[in-house]
Amino acid sequence: MLNRVILIGRLVRDPELRYTPTGTPVGSFTVAVDRPGGNRQGERRTDFIDVVVWSGLAEVCHRNLTRGRLVAVEGRLQIRSYDDSQGIRRRAAEVVAENVRFLDRPKDAGREQMPDASKESEDLDMSEVIDFSDDDIPF
């Protein structure tokens, strides 16, 4: 069996960072991903996909990502259930990320490249950063 998801998209808002009762960092953000569709040729639709990151990866994403940044997310799909405020049972789909790659530079960093968030900050390989211009992105 295989449960693997790879997404490339832009962050809808800045990542949130929380901590479990035992102190483990957990972060979350939403990625906007275009997909083909619609009534006219070339028309696209956008999916907004929730992403969860844990431990050191959550802290790195929280420190380095902001709304509008282009990322590649690799992980697994998770479906969870919860009761809403009216007691109605709801389901939520989210991607639990194992790797997050920063595919662009922050607007205020000039020509500085961002690291691969899946690695420890002491062991960064800057050659793995992919450089996309805004012209290459469909949204």
Q: What is the pLDDT of residue 3?
A: 96
Q: Give the closest residue to 27 by CA, choosing from 80, 63, 68, 74.
A: 63
Q: How many CA atoms lie within 13 A of 34 on its CB side?
A: 11
Q: What is the pLDDT of residue 107?
A: 75
Q: What is the pLDDT of residue 106?
A: 80
DSSP 86: T
Domain parsing of the chain, residue ranges: 5-117
Place of tokens 């902001």: 66
Q: What is the mean pLDDT of each run of 10 residues along the chain (139 residues)?
A: 96 97 97 82 86 96 95 96 94 96 79 47 39 44
Q: What is the pLDDT of residue 109?
A: 59
- Tell me how far the alpha carbon of residue 19 is from its chain's centroid: 18
- For the 5-117 domain, the top CATH level (class) is mainly beta
Give the pTM. 0.72
Count of H-run helices and E-run strands, the chain: 1, 6
